[in-house]
Amino acid sequence: MGSCFVENIGAKLDYFKFHHTSNPFGIIFNPKSVEKIIQRSVRKDFYTEKQLFFHNERWHCFEIHSDLSHSDKEYMLQMLNDNLISLYNQLSTASHFVLTLGTAWVYKFIESQEIAANCHKIPQKNFSKHLLTTAEITKSLENIAALIGSLNSKCHFIYTISPVRHLKDGFVENQVSKSNLISAVYELVREPQNKNDLSYFPSYEIMMDELRDYRFYNGDLIHPNATAIDYIWSRFVETYIEKSSYTTMAQVQTIQKALQHKPFNAASHLHQKFLRNLHEKVEQIQTEFPHMQF
């Protein structure tokens, strides 16, 4: 869960068919909003009409991303609460919880003082901007770990800071924000009682120090490009993926590449043989890993 960088790593986990879920309530940039969703899920505090509001012909909720907004209020409530139950079940059995923090800046809706995970294009004058302190972030991360731990004592936590810079806040403001996030995670991970359960993956540092050339960025010069994502993913694999899984990952990649193959003649005997071989490979790997769907 977390910032847009989750989508990059989540896509890799999806490609290699790891059993996972990424951002069930959309992209969430700040730790307080992640904590709120985890709290709702663990306590089964279901969404009601009180959490929804109507704006620009759609229903929205300040706790979630606008991708989940909808024109039908009843449908949206059902979807949110279904996602809540699904997240509860996943947290109960997850081996790992990966949290990518994007920013320490939060926006509070002035009328209710509620922290908005997404402002849903409501005019900025309706919000006040605040910088979370290191202590506030650390406390929020502790709460997240405690909530999930109450369901699943075996879950390991991986924290990372998104390498995507939030330059709309300002260059200096972005650096201050990232500094607070890094300091908070550092304080949490270095505590002796947390060493076996928490770890820090330096995706931000890899991007800033190893991949500091602009050829590793997209055209907006903010988001990492495919080359950078592949590099950071390779470091993630080296750090967290068991070597015994590498063979399976290679098999999955072979199938994925074969599925992208575009034949010159789809009716040819050679292509039909290719499809039969591919089908056999899929059946073989699904025998061992039934959750894999291609």
Average pLDDT over residues 51-56: 96
Neighbours of 171 (CB within 10 A): 10
pTM of the model: 0.92
Confidence of residue 272 (pLDDT cuts 50, 70, 90): very high
With CA atoms as reference, report the closest residue to 211 among 239, 230, 186. Answer: 230
pLDDT tens track for 163-178: 999 898 899 999 999 9
Instruction: Quickly list H helices, 16-133.
Output: 31-43, 73-93
pLDDT of residue 192: 76
281 Cβ contact partners less than 8 Å away, ≥ 6 residues apart? 251, 254, 255, 258
pLDDT tens track for 181-227: 999 999 999 887 777 789 999 999 999 999 989 999 999 999 999 99
Residue 198 β-bridge partners: 157
CATH number of 5-241: 2.60.40, 3.40.50, 3.10.20, 3.10.450? 3.40.50
